[in-house]
Structure 1
């Protein structure tokens, strides 16, 4: 992720996109590995949970790095748009002029989506194994964990879809 930030700063989109795809594939692998825990019964999971003690994945340095670096990718991308003198709407409505900017925007939305899927699957796994009224392994309540399901790293990339739909609707009225 740090390398991607550097590449965006240099405007090296092909390599940044390639590395972003690697990050997305890694997230897919993590998501699939999480499913392995579903093969345990809740009682078996409690034995596994004891090994974790008070630790949780959200306490890991890797998770903290993702939470710190992921939003910064948007700042780097937005700075790139400004240097290029283009808006996000233009990137999406004129993809033939901005194919690499579009590819990077879509890579960011893919990453945001897979991270949201991870949060959802983690939440569902926690409820399945320890119950909706329990405290998570790291001491987080299920209500707090559930609130994170609405978090997105790149709300602007989700919002632009509303703007594109509105624009398309306006053009259809003509």
Structure 2
């Protein structure tokens, strides 16, 4: 039998995955499910692109790394824009089915934790939240041992002939690395004398800024929907999300700007 559009994409199976729990079914629960399932698909694609990007960086490839990062940035912009759709749901409409979520929460997204880990972020709850999910727990443990984006970027700089030391993993409750003045000096040299590598640096800053934008829009969406209530997954809700704002993934790329 020939492959059809529906069979190739498994459309029938995909469209069976939206299973509202509200009884009687609340209209807006479908939107809530679809949006979050789409987010998980985008997280999957970002992780797929991260794997490619890190391999390219380790080879010192500028053009392909830039192209991959550009795709990641476009996905990130799409994810931010999707919040506009979710914000068409009023607090009353969300409250109509919120109790049916029980302890389920975006706080428990294992894939987003993978994204954070590869960005170099660490926090006590990264593994703790998934202690009863052996597959996710093991996957996150493995990610913790992998090279982060910044570590791969430093390898890239060395492949390009720049003397950059390997970042030291110092912190287990925040960003792994402390800013490094020597690295910032190298980056300043890059910005002044190597336009192609400087462009890749700027794409990394774009990604860092995009992640901060994603977090900000997420915070404001949650705040306008549930106010200061606790999150369904046991988190402190908006207070927890506020604490994640302004986390700079690549601090040296920001700090060096004061030297220009």
Residue 155 of structure 2 corresponds to residue 79 of structure 1: yes
Alpha carbons of 1:57 and 1:17: their partners in 2 closer, same or farther (altered >3 Å)?
Answer: farther
**Are 2:230 and 1:135 equivalent residues in the alignment?**
yes
SS of the residue 1:149 aligns to: coil
The 5-angstrom pairing of residues 21-170 of structure 1 reads: 21-47=70-96, 49-50=98-99, 52-71=101-120, 72-83=148-159, 84-85=161-162, 87-94=186-193, 98-131=194-227, 133-141=228-236, 142-164=238-260
CA distance in 2, matches of 1:16, 1:106: 12
Q: 2:60, 2:157 within 8 Å by CA — same for their partners in 1? A: no
Query: Which residue matches 1:170?
Result: none
Question: Contact (CA 8 Å) 2:53, 2:68: kept in 1 or not?
Answer: yes
For residues 101 and 199 of structure 2, the distance between their equivalents in structure 1, rounded to whole angstroms, comes to 39
Distance 1:104 1:26 in 2: 17
Structure 1 residue 62: deviation in Å? 2.2
* 1:58–1:64 Cα contact (<8 Å) kept: no
| Unaligned 5+ runs, structure 2 | 1-49, 121-147, 164-185
Q: Tell me which of the two structures has the higher relative contact order, counting C-alpha pairs closer than 8 angstroms and 6 or more residues apart.
A: 1
Give the secondary-structure state (helix, strand or coil) at the position aligned to 1:150: coil
Instruction: Give, in whole Å, the separation in 1 of the partners of 2:60 and 2:189.
Output: 18
1:52 to 1:15, Cα distance in 2 relative to 1, 3 A: farther
Determine helix, strand or coil for the equivalent of 1:152. Answer: coil
The structure number with the bigger radius of gyration is: 2
TM-score (norm 2): 0.57
The TM-score normalised by the length of structure 1 is: 0.84
Give the structure with the larger helix fraction: 1
Find the residue that maps to 1:109 and give its secondary structure.
helix
Q: Give 1:38 shift.
A: 1.1
Residue 80 of structure 1 deviates from its aligned partner by: 2.2
Deviation at 1:93, TM superposition (A): 1.9
Q: Distance in 1 between matches of 2:150 and 2:114?
A: 15
TM-fit CA distance, 1:79: 2.3
Root mean square deviation, CA, Å: 1.7
Q: Contact between 1:126 and 1:136, CA under 8 Å: does it hold in 2?
A: no
